């Protein structure tokens, strides 16, 4: 069962990180992002600050295991190849039955994580799946030219090569949301907070997101004492 796998990963994560805040259930955070906008980096930072488990590739590993793909192969992907996992999943999804199974497992996984609390989910249209009104939804954006430049520099690519990749990834993410949830991923009304990573650093975005999270959920996070107050 996918729920059992998630609980196993959560217990392992708690043991490894020694959650610095509390075992009390807190509303989850979802992060939608344009490709190259530093949404995953923001998720990592929030996970560190809040003591939440960040679900990015881990979530795809669990779902892929349910679909019968190789978890060892997926977990072995390095940063330079991280997009291959998404490519593999989307390739499977050309088959109608596999697409339906993927969505079933995705919904179960996201709602299990929402029920458990204390999680950050990156992408996968998670904000459209959540039911808890206090779950907090973030969208991270950045001007296209900046994202292309960042990616070209990071991957040592030409501007033309980076442009093709960034535009393709943006289209794939947009199409995934449109096809499966009949929504526009860029619609600001589907999020509680939209952040521009050209304007703010990752640290600044984390501070803004944390404050907005406090205001929506009523949970006060005291950075100086590293405590959460209900």
- With tokens 């996968």, the residue in question is 124
**Structure confidence at residue 75 (pLDDT):** 43
Q: Could you tell me if 43 and 56 are in contact, meaning their C-beta atoms sit under 8 angstroms apart?
A: yes
pLDDT at 162 over 60: yes
Residue 1 DSSP class: -
The tens digit of pLDDT for each residue in 21-66 reads 456 789 999 999 999 999 999 999 999 999 899 988 878 777 777 7
Question: Where exactly are the structural domains of the chain?
Answer: 2-13+26-200
**Cα separation, 32 vs 12, whole angstroms:** 26
**33 DSSP β-pair partners:** 140
Question: In the chain, pLDDT over 90 holds for what percent of residues?
Answer: 50
CATH class assigned to 2-13+26-200: alpha beta
Using the CB atoms, write b or e for 171-195: b if 16+ within 10 Å.
eebeebbeebeeeebeeeebbbbeb
Note the pLDDT tens digit of each residue in 93-111.
455 545 667 788 888 889 9
Give the span between the Cα atoms of 33 and 21, in whole angstroms: 27
pTM summary value: 0.78
Rounded to whole angstroms, what are the CA distances from 223 to 21, 48, 92, 206, 227? 10, 12, 43, 12, 7
pLDDT, mean over the chain: 80
* Side-chain half-sphere exposure of 94, counting CA atoms within 13 A: 4
pLDDT for 134: 93
Instruction: Indicate if the pLDDT at residue 138 is higher than 70.
Output: yes
Quote the tokens at residue 120. Answer: 């950050």
Per residue in 174-208, pLDDT (tens digit) is: 998 998 899 999 999 999 999 999 999 999 999 99
């Amino acid at each position: 069962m996918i729920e059992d796998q998630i609980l196993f990963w959560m217990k392992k994560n708690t043991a490894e990180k020694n959650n610095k805040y509390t075992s009390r259930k807190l509303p989850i955070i979802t992060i939608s992002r344009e490709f190259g906008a530093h949404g995953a980096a923001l998720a990592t930072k929030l996970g560190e600050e809040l003591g939440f488990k960040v679900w990015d590739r881990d979530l795809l590993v669990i779902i892929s295991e349910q679909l019968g793909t190789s978890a060892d192969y997926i977990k072995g992907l390095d940063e330079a190849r991280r997009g291959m996992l998404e490519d593999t999943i989307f390739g499977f999804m050309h088959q109608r039955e596999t697409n339906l199974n993927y969505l079933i497992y995705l919904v179960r996984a996201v709602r299990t994580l929402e029920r458990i609390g204390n999680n950050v989910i990156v992408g996968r249209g998670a904000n459209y799946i959540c039911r808890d009104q206090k779950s907090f939804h973030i969208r991270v954006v950045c001007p296209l030219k900046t994202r292309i430049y960042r990616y070209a520099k990071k991957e040592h690519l030409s501007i033309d090569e980076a442009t093709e990749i960034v535009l393709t990834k943006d289209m794939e993410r947009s199409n995934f949301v449109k096809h499966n949830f009949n929504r526009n991923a860029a619609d600001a009304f589907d999020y509680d907070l939209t952040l521009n990573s050209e304007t703010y650093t990752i640290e600044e975005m984390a501070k803004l997101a944390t404050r907005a999270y406090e205001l929506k959920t009523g949970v006060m996070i005291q950075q100086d004492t590293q405590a959460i107050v209900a």
